Every structure is written in C-alpha cells, then in structure tokens.
Chains A and B, each alone.
Chain A
C-alpha cells in the first residue's frame, strides 16, 4: 500500500519529517517498508514547470530541434531530439547545475552543464520521465497537464514523499488513505479532516427503477448502488492524477480515476456497469451455478462453480463478484449511464475465487480482507460528489441499498486491570482511556474498574480485551514497557536425554575428525533409491534386510509433497545417506582430499494416515583419504576406521558387549561391511560403499559409510561406570602367532584364548594379521598378545608357560591352527 504524503495530508495535517512518521507508524504495527521520495533530487532553483514558446529547426541536424522554453523567470533556447513536443506544451525544464538521471549512460546521476550540440548552444534541458526518475519512459519529453503553472518548481508540482506500507492482515482498515490518516491523527494527536460531501444535487426527474436481490446474506452483507448520468469523459484534474500516480495507480480518465481514487481513499472497491446493458431493472448476488460461464473483461471465458459468487441481472451473470466485471456489461466510450456498485462480499469466497483464477487485483485484495460494510455508503456518496465536482457526471448517490447483513457494533467490557496483567506496567487510567479514544474507540460506560468500550466499525480485528490492551500499548508506545525476568519457574531438568545424547554423538564425531553437515530433508524416490546402487535385490541376506529396513528403507513409498518446489525435492527422505554421499561428492570435487562428514538428522518413515515416524539416524561417510595430523602423512580410510568409530560411540554409551557380523546389502560392498548389534538390537551398519552406489553418487574413489541408530543407542545406554582396583602385581605379556583358515573369525580366537587361559588371562588383543606368500593358500596368520596376571600374587614363568601352552593346544585342537614360526 503506497501512501503519498500529499494525499495523506488532505486528511491530517502531519508535518513531522517523513522518517519520524515512518518510525511511529512502524512502532504502531503499521510497518513502513520503504520511503520513496519523488523528486528528492529536483533542485527547487533549477527544475521548473516550463512552457514551449516556439520551436526552431536546428541548422545542422534534421533530427534535432531548438525549442524556446519559458520557465517564469526567463526564456531559454535549448537543443532537443525529442519528437513529441509542440508549441504550448507544459514540460519539465532543467537549468544548468540540476541533477538528473543519465538516461543515455549508466542510469546514474548527471549534473547538467551548458553544452554545444552540433554547433548550437543549449542552455538547459527539457526532460523525459526517465531523466527525472519518474519511470522508464524515455521515448519523449514528459508532457504535463495544460494547467500546470509555468515557473513553479517541479518538485512542488509533482514531487513528494511516498511511504510504502507492508500491512499485516489485521489492519485492512489501513488499505485506505483515510484509514492511515486515522492512525496518524491518533498517534500525533491531530484532528482528522474528512472530505465534505454536501448534499446530492441531482435534479433529474426520472430515475430508473432498480431492485437489489441478495440471495444469501452470507454471500454479501450489503449491496449498494449509485446512478451516474450525463457523463463527460475527460482526463481527471492534475491533483487527482498526481495522487493516483504517486500511489502507483495509472490515471485513465475521470470516470475510471474516480473509482480508483475513492477505493484508495476509503478502502471500498467500486465497480461500474453500463446501466443500459443491464437487463430487467434488477441486480443481485448469488452463487454461480455449476457449469455456468462468464466472459470477463479480459476476454476470457470463465467456467464457474458454486464456490464462485456472481453479480447477475435480469438476463444472467454480469460480473464475477469482487474479482472482475463481465464483458457484457462493460463501460465503453458509448456508455451514457452507469450503475456504480459498492458492496461487501464474503471474504473467503472472494479469496478462493481470485486465487483459483489467478486474478488478484487491488479490489479483490481488499475484499479478501475484512472490509467494513459501513464504508459502502460513504464511498458512493464520495464518488458522486467527486463526479459532480470535476464535471465527470451527475448522479444519485444512494440509488438503492440492500443491507441484510448489518451487524451491531462490537462492545467490550474491559477490566482496566488487564493492562498491567498483560503488559507488566500500570498506566494512569486517564492515559489508558485517552489512548483508546485516540484510536476512535468510544467509552460507553465507566464504573471505575471496568470500562465498556465500543469499537469503531472499521476495526473488525478488535473483539476482546486483549485486543484493547494491544491498542493501549500501541498508542502509548511499547517502549514504556520495562524489562523484567519471569518470576517463579519450573523445577526439573532443562536438558532432555535426547538432546544430551545428540550432543555427545556430535562431539564424538567431531573429536574423531568428522565435520558435521546439515542437508535438506527433501528428496525424491529415484534420488533415494540411488543408494541401492543397481538393482541388486538378490544380493540381500537376512541381516542385510534388517539393515535396509532400519537405515535404508528406500523401497518404501516416501511421503510426497502436494506442492513441491522442484521435482528432485518432491518427497521426504527415508534415509540421509544419499544426501550425505552427494555432499561428499561435491566436496571431493572442490579438491578436498580428506573428507569425513556426518549428519545427525531426522528421516521420515511413512506411517499410513498418521504422522510419520521421525527417526534420528547418524550417518557418517569418509572418502578414500583419511584426515591425518601430519602434512607429510597420508593414510587411506579402511573398514577398521569406521568400525573403530562405531566402537568409540558404543563405549561412550556404556554398551559393553556387542556382536559384529557380516551382511549383504547392495549399498555396501559384500565382504567389507558389518553390522553391530547388542542382543537383538541392531545398532549400526558400516562398511565400504558399493561401487554401484558411489558411482550413482558421482564419487570416483572408495568411500566408507557408517549408519547408527542413535535411538537404539540411547535405549540400551548404560552411563554407570564401576571402578576396578588397580593391579598390585606385575603382568607377563606373551604373544602367540598362529596360521588359520582365511574365512575364520578373529573374535572366535579371542574367545577361545580367554576360555582356555582362564582367569589369569587379563586381556587378549590382536596385534597383527598377515596375508601373503609366507603362509599356505587359503590361510592367514594372526598374532595375539596375551596379558597374564594374577590379582593376588606374582605369576612365575613356569605358570605362564604352562598356561600359554594350554592355550596353544586349545587353538590347535579347536581350529586346526598351527603355530607360525
């Protein structure tokens, strides 16, 4: 909503600087989005309204002419290439030193200097709209109205500040100059001056009959019409054109301009019908019938439904109510009588129709919001008054008026104690009452503690005492409210277990060298299924199926958006792995060679008609190169890096015993991936990303991924820690190197060593794995380091040797292992 100050000052004599006005309005919740100053750069002493006195040909150029311009103080001859001027035209005239816009250059400022153009001195310039910053038009000189006063500084004639409001839906009353003027008058404690309307002067004997037929007050609470005749179509006067233009409305002719002017002035949209095209002396409002059509003013045939509201006459639909007129009743050059409509329609229906048809206009915008039905009458009276004043027509201002939806004013019992209860500050009661009265609320009764307040009809947003508290805060100023902290409070933990867990998980990953990322939650089914690599359905075993179900349920139909922004983001992801791999690929392309990434985010598992399960999964990936501390060190990521990361997490959550087992799933490289479970609970899956999966993610080097069910982690977490007495007696460490089958599992040997060695085996750890020529085909070498210790005494060499030999025999017997020498 653009509010030119010259227009606003017609109703309230506000003279504060525009910045101050903008600030006060914004403080009051009427946000001033921008302040535009038309003609701010037009020097009063250098840019004037001029008149072309004569035009001489240029001696040296056919396309140039030499107009002489009278600008009050003197006359000057200039050179111009403009084709559109003639003697007598009023034009903007700039003298030396004026600042204009460089229309031929970069659009920046240009200070006018005397110049010789093709041998003739030019001592000034006649200006185009573009050169004055008034628009894009540079096809010719801006021709001013014939009555423009010659010699007047142009800034006084055309300039002025315009404030642009970004109105919230509650303040539809400010979709009008008068509405804004009321607020300004209240804020600055100034009188409001509404236009005098006088009495209608129509002396025409015969006025046609008109019946108004509102079929349902739900469709239209009021429908009023004025009657205009003796039309004289002409341009509107300068004052009206100037206001309309400054408000962003293009002047057309006096009749059209009046409807726009009054709409902007009062907020009431008006529609003009050619009265002689209307049939049957009746006009009304009804829902469209299914299948009914109407050709609207833009020439389109609109197919209507009962959700649309139409204006009809004796012969059928003549307009789409509140949205657009019908072509069959259009006002044209031959029109001699007008029915001018001022109505109030059901805002929801107008909204749905204007949206459904993509027809949003200044009028429909006002109808979609709350509009006081009371305004209709004033708008018609004002229109007819203006038409007579500017000689556009004569008329009957309130020809017919059907008002079936009249409502009582809103009256609120307002306990004054609500003000301190909600604002935290107590104002003297006179200040509270004064604030309300400045906002045009009437105090109907006052019993001391409670006042009865009547809301003005245009403030449909005010219905209860909390609204009045806001009104008081706005008029007095929010800045009066002090700063305190809430007293009292809530006993209990302020950090939830889930948040605490998330912090731990993120900290561990970051400490382990991984960078957190946050990716979008939207994807689409094909993008999601890329993580499966190829088809590969046959490559899934039972364990792999569980991994798929828990972490990669991409075969599930994801939740679809009804209105996606992009096709590749039309669904909610069921796994984050795809996005994380895409991010890995992108960063590898930026030539980062050591990229470890993780995301701890929600995935959305559809749950039929119910809200989806929002499942939190940790997804970590690493490329071929592992980050290493040294600038002279390089290390490639391995299976064991991912496994170790998982183990670190498990340990942090106190999960002491877990099983690691291989699985087959097409996302991972078979033989190089594993799950980690505790009992029946699947906690994690990790391994090398299958070549097909990474190829589909545009990653052309080995990549590794880890998926962790952090909710499962939390459900079995054990944060208790138990102190163990530090050993008092020395330990003995002995290694054992054995050759075993290639497909054996290291964990089995550890178990076997523990059970064969008994209590004196304090710990067993794998220290080497050998694959190569020095062992037979199908075999590998493993070296375990065994720590022997007795808690109560020092072990002798013999005791250790005996125990060690027993372990070796057990390994030989159980696994066919041979000692490696």
Chain B
C-alpha cells in the first residue's frame, strides 16, 4: 500500500505541474475528491489488519495533505500568472539611472595621491595660499635678489604695511618650513594645495595649479628613500611595472637636487607620442632638504636629513586620463567634467 500511495502522489504532482487554471478543479476531483483515487485508497484501509491500519492511515493522510498543499500553490501561481497580463516593454529603452553628480578630476587625482601616501604614513596638511615672502622664498634658501627667484614668477599681494612681502605662494614648499618650525622630527607629510605663477596660460601651463609637496625628515632619510617613495607612488598610480630614474637638477632648497622621471605608462618605455619618444615621462622635482633650510627651522643638519618633492597635480591627472590641454580643468565644462564620473 505504501508503494501504491507514493506512486499515486508522484503521478498526481507531475500532472499538476502543467495543469492550467481551467483544469485544476478537475485534477482535484480526480485525486482528492470524494470519488478521487486517493480517497479510493483510503477506503481500502478498512480492509487491512489492525496492525497495519495506523501506519497506512498516517501515510494516506500525509499524502492527502501534500496534494492539497500542492494544489493550493499551483492555484496561487496560475491565478497570479493569469492576472499578469501586461504590455511588453521595449527593453532597449534607456534605464532610469539614479541621479549622481561627480567629483572634479583634480579632486579625484588628489584623493588618489593622498591615499597612496597615507599608505606609507604621510599625513596631508594644509598651508596658506597667501604667504609671506619669508616662507615662500627666504626660509627656503632663496634670499631676495637671488637669481633663482627667476624660477618662480610671482603674484604679489598689495599690503601697504609690509610692501613686497605678501604673495600668492608659487609652490607648496612653504609648508615645509611651516611644519618643521612647529614639529620635531620624524616628519612625514604631504601638502596638497593651490599655487600660483605669474605666467601666460597655454596648453601646458596654468597660472593657477595644484601641487603636492612631500617631506620626510628623520635621522636616517636618504636619497634612496626618496627614489623608493617615488617608485611606490608611480607604481600605485601608473602600474606595477613603472620604473623611476633620477637626473641632476637644481632647487635652492634641496641639495642634492634631482628631477624624477617615470618609465612611460603608455608605451612601457619603448617610446611613443606621450613620452616624446624617450620612453620616460617627467614626473617631479625633488632632492634632499638643504642644510640651510634644516638649520633655518632649528634642526641640526648633521643629525637629521630629509627629502622633499613637489609634483603638479594637473600634470598627473593629464597623464592618467590622457588630457591634452591643461586649460580644460578650470573651464568647468560639464561635457568635460562628466567624462570622469
């Protein structure tokens, strides 16, 4: 009898799966109705022995419940299906995208730069955009009338009380002196911010631009650490196989001074249009903090050494995104800005 019930249930369920709404009641009649098959089996229980009867009763009742439950589910499904009689959608119509804005590509690049340097323990600090000559030049070993001042064409701010002293910082380097004056080594900072140069604007020069200065000072900082730090940065932003080369340069506030270049991220170093066929891309200027700068903020230059670097943020963004004209950044044309969202 057990086999008989199981076979019946299997057959009934199989049949139910394909039953349309109109035939559902008929199915029910045939299996669980008053003269249905399962009912017929139940009637036969009376003919069994008293020992077999309870088990057979249980089985038959369970079978009835299973079939009734399956019937209800099937009924719910076919009723729901019959009511979902809707027009088809043109699935190629555009989706409704939740409205989100975006961040300026310079902000995005600054965030990435901050993140990379945060990973190796560099804290980002802010520093004034309107500065004193003292911090922008003198404390950086660039006295008045020094020929090196020609390297930075400067906007001066009118200040009748201190004529010729207030200016728009030409680089983020004044933050070096400001931080070192207030903090004892060890120091690991970057100072992102806006800088200004009194020069004509063209495709690769802006009078207003962002720079990120980096500074590490401790008893054991070397040029090798500078190279390693820049390599870490270049790899994080431009790919694992970037290499750094450093070449001699001159800045009054570093000695030795250098320019760092990175192997081209477009051609990998073979030479292409982006790197001017040299395989290398100029990245930034850097060097070991000049002993006079260290002494100027009260550090013993025999005990401490440090490296400093300064990079143009727009330049990094241009390299990353392949932007060909620096003037795009501050025109704020949405057709430009939205490309980076």
Contacts and interface: CB of A to CB of B under 8 A. Distances in A.
B308 interface: no
Interface string A360-371: 000000001110
A421 interface: yes
Interface of A: 26-31, 168-172, 347-348, 351-352, 368-370, 420-425, 464, 466-467, 469-470, 473-474, 478-479, 481-490, 492-496, 498-499, 503, 506, 509-522, 559-565, 572, 583, 586-587, 590, 592, 595-598, 602, 604, 608-609, 611-612, 614, 627-631, 633
Contact of A563 (B99, B156, B166, B232): B156
A306 B104 CA distance: 52
Contact of B248 (A27, A482, A512, A517): A27
A573 to B, nearest CB: 12
B59 interface: no
Interface string B247-265: 1111000011110000000
Interface in B104-141: 104, 106-107, 111, 114, 117-118, 120-126, 128-132
Interface string B134-168: 00000000000111101100011111011000101
A348 B331 CA distance: 40
A597 B103 CA distance: 10
19 contacts: A28-B247, A420-B222, A424-B224, A470-B256, A478-B223, A478-B248, A478-B258, A483-B244, A484-B225, A486-B188, A487-B220, A496-B124, A513-B99, A515-B334, A559-B166, A590-B335, A596-B101, A611-B130, A631-B93
B288 to A, nearest CB: 5
B333 to A, nearest CB: 7
Contacts of B258: 29, 478
Given A494-B124, A561-B158, A515 B249 contact: no
Interface string B281-313: 000000010110000000000000100000000
A169 B114 contact: no
Interface string B182-213: 00001110000010001010000001100000
Select the residue from A484, A511, A513, A597 with max chain B CB neighbours within 10 A. Answer: A484
Interface of B: 93-94, 96-104, 106-107, 111, 114, 117-118, 120-126, 128-132, 145-148, 150-151, 155-159, 161-162, 166, 168, 186-188, 194, 198, 200, 207-208, 216, 218, 220-225, 227-229, 231-232, 244-250, 255-258, 288, 290-291, 305, 329-335, 337-338, 341
B151 A595 contact: no
Contacts of B101: 509-516, 596, 598
A516 B330 CA distance: 11
A546 to B, nearest CB: 25
Nearest to B337: A515
B245 A479 contact: yes
Nearest to B132: A611
A19 to B, nearest CB: 10
Contact of B129 (A474, A515, A602, A627): A602
Given A483-B231, A510-B102, A490 B123 contact: yes
Interface centre among B129, B186, B334, by most chain A C-beta atoms within 10 angstroms, is B334
Contacts of B128: 611, 614
A489 B102 contact: no
Given A486-B216, A512-B101, A503 B111 contact: yes
A494 B118 contact: yes
Nearest to A465: B291
Q: Which of A171, A499, A608, A628 has the most CB of B within 10 A?
A: A499
Given A425-B224, A509-B101, A521-B129, A561 B257 contact: no
Q: Which of B150, B247, B291, B329: most chain A Cβ within 10 A?
A: B247
Nearest to A31: B249
Contacts of A368: 147
Contacts of B155: 561-564
Contacts of A489: 121, 186, 188
Q: Which of the listed residues A352, A513, A611 has the most CB atoms from chain B within 10 Å of its own CB? A: A611
B145 to A, nearest CB: 4
B124 A479 contact: no
Q: Which 8 A-B pairs have the closest CB atoms?
A: A29-B248, A424-B224, A424-B222, A470-B256, A168-B250, A609-B161, A513-B99, A483-B228
A496 B94 contact: no
Given A483-B244, A611-B131, A422 B256 contact: yes
Contacts of A604: 129-130
A746 to B, nearest CB: 27
Contact of A629 (B96, B107, B334): B96
B294 to A, nearest CB: 10
Nearest to A560: B158
B256 A586 contact: no
A577 to B, nearest CB: 14
Which residue, of B194, B207, B255, has the highest number of chain A Cβ atoms within 10 A?
A: B255
Contacts of A474: 248, 256
B224 A423 contact: yes
A484 B161 contact: no
A199 to B, nearest CB: 37
Contacts of B333: 586-587, 590
A560 B161 CA distance: 14
A492 B123 contact: yes
Contact of B247 (A422, A478, A563, A564): A478
A516 B102 contact: yes
A485 B232 contact: yes
A503 to B, nearest CB: 7
Given A423-B224, A488-B218, A516-B104, A627 B99 contact: yes
Given A422-B223, A515-B101, A466 B288 contact: yes
Given A481-B246, A604-B130, A611-B128, A518 B107 contact: yes
A498 B126 contact: yes
A745 B222 CA distance: 67
Contact of B188 (A170, A172, A482, A490): A490
B130 A612 contact: yes
B155 to A, nearest CB: 5
Contacts of A464: 255, 291
Contacts of A561: 155-158, 168
Nearest to B149: A169
Contacts of A629: 96-99
A702 B325 CA distance: 33
A168 B254 CA distance: 13
A499 B158 CA distance: 30
Contacts of B121: 489-490, 494
Given A494-B121, A587-B334, A609-B162, 9 more contacts: A421-B222, A424-B223, A470-B255, A487-B225, A509-B101, A521-B129, A587-B332, A629-B98, A631-B93
Contacts of A30: 248
A628 B99 CA distance: 6
Given A481-B227, A628-B99, A518 B334 contact: no
Given A478-B246, A559-B130, A583-B332, A169 B148 contact: yes
A515 B338 contact: yes
Contacts of A513: 99-101
B198 A565 contact: yes
B132 A521 contact: no
A282 B258 CA distance: 48
A482 B227 contact: yes
Nearest to A509: B101
Contacts of B244: 483
Contacts of A28: 247-248
Nearest to A579: B332
B111 A519 contact: no
Contacts of B147: 169, 172, 347, 351, 368-370
Contact of B124 (A499, A516, A609, A630): A499
Contacts of A499: 114, 124
Contacts of A496: 123-126
Contacts of B223: 422-424, 473, 478, 481
Given A351-B147, A510-B100, A515-B338, A521 B208 contact: yes
